[in-house]
Amino acid sequence: MSDITIYSAKRILTMNRSNPLATHVAVRDGMILGAGALEDLTGWEPYTVDDRFAGKVLMPGMIEGHAHAMEGAVWQDEYVGYYDRVSPDGDSKPGLKSIDEVIDYLSKVDAAMDEPEEALIAWGFDPIYFGGRRMVAADLDRISSTRPILVVHASFHIVNVNTAVLTRANVTAETNVMGIMKDADGKVTGELQGMPARFIVTSAIGREHFVEMGQEGSLWRFARSAQLAGVTTSTDLANDFAEATLANMKKLTSRADYPLRIVPAFLSNTRPPEEGVEMVRRILPESSDKLRFGLVKMVSDGSIQGFTARLMEPGYYNGAPNGLWYIEPDEIPRILNAYHGAGLQVHVHTNGDQATDVVLDAMEDALREFPNPDARFTIQHCQMAHESHYRKMARLGVCANLFANHLFYWGDEHYEQTMGPERACRMNATGTAKRLGVPFTIHSDAPITPLAPLFTAWCAVNRTTVSGRVLGEEERISVEDALEAVTLGAAYTLKLDGEIGSIEAGKRADFAVLEDDPLEAGADGLKDVRVWGTVVGGEIFDNAAITGS
């Protein structure tokens, strides 16, 4: 007979509607035997009571329904974003408030590097906060004229480089290529976009930087980043199923000391669907309790702040031309059907309302052709969906994973430039989803924004922008609903709600261990609730082991 441990806690928020609050939880072999008062659990014998969490608050381990394993890869580089951000080592990296601050910081990093030719790579840079001033090669040349320097923007679609990079890639004023920005005098500014950016960077540093996300070190950082935020399960949305990545994921998730369950979604966009179906089917039997295959992701359009999302009338508020499809709209039904018809669950990225509209129609048709009342199609981001879309989603059983963090980080831009007041106020309409019974969760899209579901919950509860504006009071949800969204809500979209997402008998012993009570912290304090660590399948992970404090 295996050991039974009964943990006592200050309070346990179970997310189990029939037993919402408890003080004790009994665990055996990584599984929950029950939650309640001590006397509700002592029938499980023989047990030992463990009081290490007696002063803490437990809730189900949080579940991030839309993040990327790249969250681990980016931290091998230097963070130069505008906001403070916690690294997977627990360091709080201060936000850099001007281009000069970025240059000063990178100069210090440069000085500490031994190899003069080794590339210096930074990420998270966002010039929208710098009043129109863009970074140019000359800024970065102040740091070094020999070392290749790359500053990747927060969107991950733009990169600034120094002259050393341009020289290595033979880029001159005569190079006329879309995506290589030039100033009014025809001089290359050092700001690069798209495929040319990727090509130039690769030729300058001699390797493809961003395919390194599946390395072991990156996967460890991904898991630590999750642990620090109280996350015990995260999607990797999406994954191209490179062999090395899969091998590393299998190896690490089989270790008891790896603190994260990963749900990789197969990225369908780069493969013919028939081939994709085969790839997912082949790997399905290799799923384990901490690594779940079977999910498929499609990407239909671009982003709103990049003006590449596909919008219905009246289009972009500032008059920008309509965005880009990443799949031919007439192809979406065929691809969706191929995966859905093979019995695989499909999540589709849409940002603009036109993309949501087209994708929802395709989902409706797919459900007619291959009826499956529990398909749980999920629309990822789904930022601009109308109330009519939510009504349709409710009828079809389609879930939404809403990008609540956007409200804070880009809400002011949406209000002023992309969507205008009315539509900005109904973006990421968690209130509507709740009211109409659409199963929903909320996400960070880490590393685009920080992996921290309590902050994401705060965004959905308050809908406050950087400037303090409230975007759509009507769409706010309660603290309880937001906490459910980042636990059971996310589990539902992954078809894992029978296993994780609440603290109740028969589920995996995955807990977020908190210093403060989120219900007491309330709407204002939710984002400041301190995370002590996590429990994953009964294994205890103390954040102090990472932060060293």
Partner 1 sequence: MTQGDDRIPLTVIGGFLGAGKTTLLNRVLSDNHGIRFAVLVNDFGDLPVDTSLVTDHDGETLTFANGCLCCTMGDNLMKTLSDLAMRTEPPEHILIEASGVADPRPILDLGTLHPRLRRDLSLVLVDAETIHDRAEDVRLKETVDRQIAAADVILINKCDVVDEATVAAVRAWLRKRVPDAHIVETMQAAIPLDLVFAGDGSPEPMSRPVAANDHDHVDHGTQFRSVTVVPENPMTRLAIEQWMSVLPPSVLRVKGYIAAENDPGSVFLVQRVGNRLDLSVCPAQGKTPGVVFIGSADLPDADWIGRRCVA
Could you tell me the CA-to-CA distances from 129 to 193, 333, 413, 414, 466 in Å, in that order? 19, 40, 11, 14, 11
Residue 205 parent element (H or E)? helix 194-205
Number of residues that bind Zn ion (CB under 5 A): 1
- Report yes or no: 193 and 158 within 8 Å, Cβ to Cβ: yes
Number of residues that bind partner 1 (CB under 8 A): 40
- Report yes or no: 168 and 134 within 8 Å, Cβ to Cβ: no
For residue 197 the two structure tokens come to 């950016």
Q: Applying CB under 5 A, does 445 fall inside the site for Zn ion?
A: yes
Q: Applying CB under 8 A, does 187 fall inside the site for partner 1?
A: no
Choose the stretch contacting partner 1; rule: CB under 8 A; options: 81-89, 147-155, 317-325, 434-442.
Answer: 317-325
The 8-class DSSP code of residue 301 comes to B
The 8-class DSSP code of residue 416 comes to I
Pick from partner 1, Zn ion, none: which does 445 bind, CB < 5 to 8 A by kind?
A: Zn ion
**Least gap, CB of 67 to Zn ion (angstroms):** 8
Query: Cα–Cα distance between 516 and 466 in angstroms, integer?
Result: 25
**Least gap, CB of 171 to partner 1 (angstroms):** 8
The 8-class DSSP code of residue 523 comes to H
Q: Applying CB under 5 A, does 516 fall inside the site for Zn ion?
A: no
- Non-local (6+) Cβ contacts of 353 within 8 A are 311, 312, 384, 385, 386, 389
Pick from partner 1, Zn ion, none: which does 532 bind, CB < 5 to 8 A by kind?
A: none
Q: Applying CB under 5 A, does 301 fall inside the site for Zn ion?
A: no
CB-nearer residue toward Zn ion: 191 or 445: 445
- Report yes or no: 124 and 80 within 8 Å, Cβ to Cβ: yes
| Other residues' Cβ atoms within 10 Å of the Cβ of residue 146 | 11
Q: Applying CB under 8 A, does 272 fall inside the site for partner 1?
A: yes
**Least gap, CB of 378 to Zn ion (angstroms):** 13
Annotate each residue in 62-81 with x if it binds partner 1 (CB under 8 A) or - if it does not, as one string. Answer: --------------------
Chosen residue from 144, 234, 253, 354 binding partner 1 by CB under 8 A: 354
Query: Cα–Cα distance between 57 and 454 in angstroms, integer?
Result: 14
Q: Applying CB under 8 A, does 278 fall inside the site for partner 1?
A: no
Choose the stretch contacting Zn ion; rule: CB under 5 A; options: 48-56, 340-348, 439-447, 531-539.
Answer: 439-447
Of residues 192 through 221, those in contact with partner 1 by CB under 8 A are 194-196, 198-200, 202-203, 208, 211
Pick from partner 1, Zn ion, none: which does 272 bind, CB < 5 to 8 A by kind?
A: partner 1
Chosen residue from 2, 18, 176, 467 binding partner 1 by CB under 8 A: 176
Choose the stretch contacting Zn ion; rule: CB under 5 A; options: 204-212, 364-372, 437-445, 531-539.
Answer: 437-445
Q: Applying CB under 5 A, does 71 fall inside the site for Zn ion?
A: no
Q: Which of 458, 443, 466, 476 is nearest to 522 (CA)?
A: 458
Please, what sign has the CA dihedral across residues 539, 543, 546, 548?
negative
| Peptide bond just before 20 cis, omega within 30 deg | no
Name the one residue in this structure whose structure tokens are 């009081």. 51
Query: Cα–Cα distance between 300 and 381 in angstroms, integer?
Result: 11
- What is the binding site for partner 1 (CB under 8 A)? 169-171, 175-179, 194-196, 198-200, 202-203, 208, 211, 240, 267, 270-272, 274-275, 310, 312-313, 321-322, 324-331, 354, 358
- What is the binding site for Zn ion (CB under 5 A)? 445
